[in-house]
Structure 1
Amino acid sequence: MSEIIFQVEEAQEGGYIASALGHAIFTEADTLDDLRTNVRDAVRCHFDDETRRVVRLHFVRDEVIEA
């Protein structure tokens, strides 16, 4: 079983953007539940074989604080 890691960021206009590290797989959604569904669909579409894959979502969030 192989693992695919997606970097997930909040989109400026709202929602989320996910991009796979090491693969040309990108997707977006308005909610986290929809993003999970879209990521699964995108992985299945990208790979034609029946290999089971583990998908890890890595959330990246910038936080600005006053110093």
Structure 2
Amino acid sequence: MNEIVFLVEEAPEGGYSARALGESIFTQAETLEALREEVRDAVRVHFDAGAGPSVIRLHYVRDEVLAA
């Protein structure tokens, strides 16, 4: 595996959540800096040594609602 992609969203209760596409990995943190570390840690724990991705991509998703 060369790359893994996480969708990052602001959590309704505050902080941020990250969910991997194609893998059962989910994590959350209060700040983006802490979330980056949590994502790295979750990837290390999820994959066997040497089997994990060489790149972790964070895709930031932001919903915006406009009045019509």
Q: Which residue of 1 aligns with 2:12?
A: 12
Task: Please name the residue that 2:55 is paired with.
Answer: 54
Q: Could you tell me the percent identity over the aligned residues?
A: 64
Count of residue correspondences = 67
The runs of 5 or more residues in structure 2 that have no matched partner are none
1:50 shift after superposition: 2.2
1:16-38 per-residue CA deviation (whole Å, 9 max, x = no partner) reads 01000000000000000000000
Any stretches of 5+ residues in structure 1 without a counterpart?
Answer: none
- Higher mean Cα deviation, 12-21 or 48-57? 48-57
Structure 1 stretches (4+) deviating beyond 2 angstroms? none
What is the CA-CA distance between 1:65 and the residue it aligns to? 1.2
Tell me, yes or no, if structure 1 residue 28 matches structure 2 residue 28.
yes
In structure 1, distance between residues paired with 2:54 and 2:6: 13
TM-score (norm 2): 0.91
Secondary structure of the structure 1 residue equivalent to 2:34: helix
Partner of 2:67: 66
